[in-house]
Structure 1
Amino acid sequence: MTAKTLMIQGTSSGAGKTTLVTALCRILSDDGYKVAPFKSQNMSSYSYIGKDFEISRAQAIQAIAARTKIIPIMNPILLKPLGNYKSEIFVNGVSYRKMHARDYYKKFALSTGLEQSKNALDQLLKVNDIVILEGAGSPAEINIQRYDIANMRMAEYCRSPVILVTDIDKGGSFASIVGTLALLDKKHQKLVKGFVINKFRGDVTILQPGYSVLKKKTMKPVIGTIPLIEFDIPDEDSLHANPKQVSWTKKYLLTLDREIDHLANTVKKNIDIKKIRGMLN
């Protein structure tokens, strides 16, 4: 069996990729599918430590949302920042070595990093109905695009449709969407099937004229507008000076599960789930 795939990418860091993947893992799990999250490369100081492995806590939480076992191949490459452009690199949950960013890009990313990421994804595809992939940052970071193993390379590898999510609360979302697409290769533009507008405040009808213009310029639809909501699920620390600490107790996991349900219910009410199901290839 080869799983169906869907990838969530963003116009920037903090756009809402992680929370959207978390919500979709729970929504599709509720539908009865065997679901797994996957992020080939993640940078975070805060991790989930299993019995004999360590991965990003974001993928651990997504696995909980999917009601599946947390395993290292869900995040085959983890970078834990050490300062001065250096990170400790974990491969499939095991410490590999400490590397400067320059060496990581030139000596690791497109060799060991890409190979291990593809192998990990292949394993997940064999034992699940659906794998939800999460990108990193933006796929249009043209200064490091050639070394990017977390976005379009993975989508192209598994022929996954891509949903592009943007944070409208920061402003500039329409320009970010159009600009992101413009900076992608034509073959990668074709993989993008639609957009999700995240963190919106107010009456969604005021966005409709913008959506019409966006559709004319990109020939792709907005498939959901998610309101800015309160939920108690830890963010990645790359955007926050004081990210929430997590203690993986039974009590916390019960609380986390309720928060995931709250997030999933909100997302389900505000995106076109039928279109998303239709995108699963």
Structure 2
Amino acid sequence: MTAKTLMIQGTSSGAGKTTLVTALCRILSDKGYKVAPFKSQNMSSYSYVEKEFEISRAQAIQAIAARTKIIPIMNPILLKPLGNYTSQVFVNGVFYRKMHAKNYYEKFALSTGLKESKNALDQLLKTNDIVILEGAGSPAEINLQRYDIANMRMAEYCKSPVILVTDIDKGGSFASIIGTLSLLDKKYQKFIKGFVINKFRGDVTILRPSYSVLQKKTLRPVIGTIPLIEFDIPDEDSLHAKPKQVSWTKKYLVTLDKEIDHLAHVVKKNLDMKKIGNMLN
């Protein structure tokens, strides 16, 4: 069996990739699919720890959303920052070594990092119906594109359609979408199939004329507009001075499950699931 794939990338960090993947994992699980999340490389100070492995907390929560077992190949490369451009590097959940950013990019990312990421994804593709991939940051960071193993290289590897999500609450989202597309190599542009406008406040009808302009300029549709909502699911620590601490008790997991259901309900209501279904076929 080879799973279908869908990848969520963003115009920036904090655009909503992690929460959108979490919601899609639950929505597709509710439909009866065997779903798994995947993020080839994640940088985070906060992780999910078991006796034999340690991965990003975000992928652990996404696995819970997918109602599947948390396993290390969901996040084959974890970087835990130590300061001074140095991180602890974990490979498939196991500590590998401390590395300076320069050494990581030049001696690890495109060799061991990319190889292990592809191997991990291959395993998930063999044992699931659908794998939802999450990118990192933006695929258009031209200073890092050469070493980027979290975005378009993975989409190309598994020939995955990509949805680009942007945070409209910060402003500049339409320019970010068009700018992201323009900075991608043409061979990568073809993977982006549509856009999600995230964290919108107000009446969505105000945006619709802009969507027509965006579609004319990009030849791609807006698949949904997700309102700015409150939910109690931990965010990535790179965006917050005081990220939420997690204790993985049974009581917390029940609460987390309810929050995931709430998030999935809102996302499903505001996404064109028919378009997403077509991408998966």
- 1:117 corresponds in structure 2 to 117
* 1:22 corresponds to 2:22: yes
Shift of 1:161: 0.1
Q: Which TM-score applies when normalising by structure 1?
A: 1.00
Question: What is the alpha-carbon distance in structure 2 between the residues aligned to residue 233 and residue 210 of structure 1?
Answer: 31
What letter corresponds to residue 31 of structure 1 in structure 2? K
Question: What is the alpha-carbon distance in structure 2 between the residues aligned to residue 93 and residue 85 of structure 1?
Answer: 21
Deviation track 1:198-238 (CA, whole Å, cap 9, x = no partner) reads 00000000001110110000000000000000000000001
* 1:38 corresponds to 2:41: no
* 1:50 corresponds to 2:22: no
The DSSP-based 3-state class of the residue aligned with 1:5 is: strand
- 2:267 corresponds in structure 1 to 267
What letter corresponds to residue 151 of structure 1 in structure 2? N
Residue pairs, 1:8-19, within 5 angstroms: 8-19=8-19
- 1:135 corresponds in structure 2 to 135
Q: Which runs of 4+ in 1 moved over 6 A?
A: none
Residue pairs, 1:89-100, within 5 angstroms: 89-100=89-100
Q: Which TM-score applies when normalising by structure 2?
A: 1.00
Deviation track 1:218-264 (CA, whole Å, cap 9, x = no partner) reads 00000000000000000000111100000000000000000000000
The DSSP-based 3-state class of the residue aligned with 1:155 is: helix
- 1:197 corresponds in structure 2 to 197
Shift of 1:280: 1.0
The DSSP-based 3-state class of the residue aligned with 1:80 is: strand
Aligned residues: 281
- 1:83 corresponds in structure 2 to 83
The DSSP-based 3-state class of the residue aligned with 1:276 is: helix
Question: What is the alpha-carbon distance in structure 2 between the residues aligned to residue 63 and residue 250 of structure 1?
Answer: 16
The DSSP-based 3-state class of the residue aligned with 1:48 is: strand
Shift of 1:181: 0.2
* 1:226 corresponds to 2:243: no
What letter corresponds to residue 238 of structure 1 in structure 2? S
- 1:206 corresponds in structure 2 to 206
What letter corresponds to residue 113 of structure 1 in structure 2? G
- 2:74 corresponds in structure 1 to 74
CA RMSD between the two structures: 0.4
The DSSP-based 3-state class of the residue aligned with 1:234 is: coil
Question: What is the alpha-carbon distance in structure 1 between the residues aligned to residue 217 and residue 148 of structure 2?
Answer: 26
Shift of 1:5: 0.1
- 2:172 corresponds in structure 1 to 172
Deviation track 1:61-81 (CA, whole Å, cap 9, x = no partner) reads 000000000000000000000
Question: What is the alpha-carbon distance in structure 1 between the residues aligned to residue 157 and residue 146 of structure 2?
Answer: 15
Shift of 1:51: 2.4
Question: What is the alpha-carbon distance in structure 2 between the residues aligned to residue 88 and residue 213 of structure 1?
Answer: 45
Shift of 1:50: 1.4
The DSSP-based 3-state class of the residue aligned with 1:142 is: coil
* 1:3 corresponds to 2:3: yes
Shift of 1:154: 0.1
Question: What is the alpha-carbon distance in structure 2 between the residues aligned to residue 186 and residue 221 of structure 1?
Answer: 18
Unaligned runs of 5+ residues in structure 1 are none
Question: What is the alpha-carbon distance in structure 1 between the residues aligned to residue 187 and residue 256 of structure 2?
Answer: 39
The DSSP-based 3-state class of the residue aligned with 2:165 is: strand
Unaligned runs of 5+ residues in structure 2 are none
